[in-house]
Amino acid sequence: MKTIPFKRKSTHANTQYVETKSQDLKWILQQSQRLVELSEACIKEDIKEGLPLHSRNGNLPKQKTGKMNSCQSFCEGIIDNFNNGQYDLTERQLEGLTEAFAVVNRLAEEFEAVIFEEVKELPKLKSIIPPPEDILEKLGDLFEVEEITINYKKR
């Protein structure tokens, strides 16, 4: 299970938005896209085990129209929001993502469930650049050198 830290954003909106690290947000969007693709494949191939992905789920937030969401429609909505300029998640969406990812986790082994944990401060970035000595070791792994010959001319 993946744990994603979030903190509440201070806004003047009626909706409570949350902030996560960009790496976690990218993971959420990728998982959402994969869930949608799996659900569509189950529909296309008539795989009955995939029915919970595209059936209405009362544990997910309802659509603006009042209609119940499925895991697929909920994740499509998350993706659409980001494609249309809404770059923040709400607390209700976090609850929905927890439910949708739990459903797909029970059906497909390559999907990870998620839990969101409120924190006062988001963790600092871990360095994605390896220390200099690691770079040298990796360069040494790239090249297999058995013998080096140096020719020089005297002037």
Would 144 be classed as within a structural domain? Answer: no
**17 exposure class (CB count in 10 Å sphere: 0-12, 13-18, 19+):** middle
The total number of structural domains in the chain stands at: 1
In contact, 65 and 47? CB cutoff 8 Å: no
Would 141 be classed as within a structural domain? Answer: no
DSSP conformation class of 147: -
What the block records as the tokens of 21 is 């690290």
Residue 119's SS3 state is coil
Would 60 be classed as within a structural domain? Answer: yes
Q: Could you report the per-residue pLDDT of 76-110, keeping only the tens digit for each?
A: 999 999 888 888 899 999 999 999 999 999 999 88
Would 149 be classed as within a structural domain? Answer: no
Q: Could you report the per-residue pLDDT of 113-139, keeping only the tens digit for each?
A: 999 998 988 888 766 666 666 655 655
Would 153 be classed as within a structural domain? Answer: no
Beta strand ranges found along the chain (DSSP E):
2-8, 17-19, 89-90, 114-118
Direct distance between the N- and C-terminal alpha carbons of the chain, in angstroms, rounded to an integer: 68
Q: Which domain holds residue 64?
A: 2-122
The pLDDT, as a whole number, for residue 105 is 94
The pLDDT, as a whole number, for residue 41 is 93
DSSP readout, 75-93? HHHHHHHHHTT---EEHHH
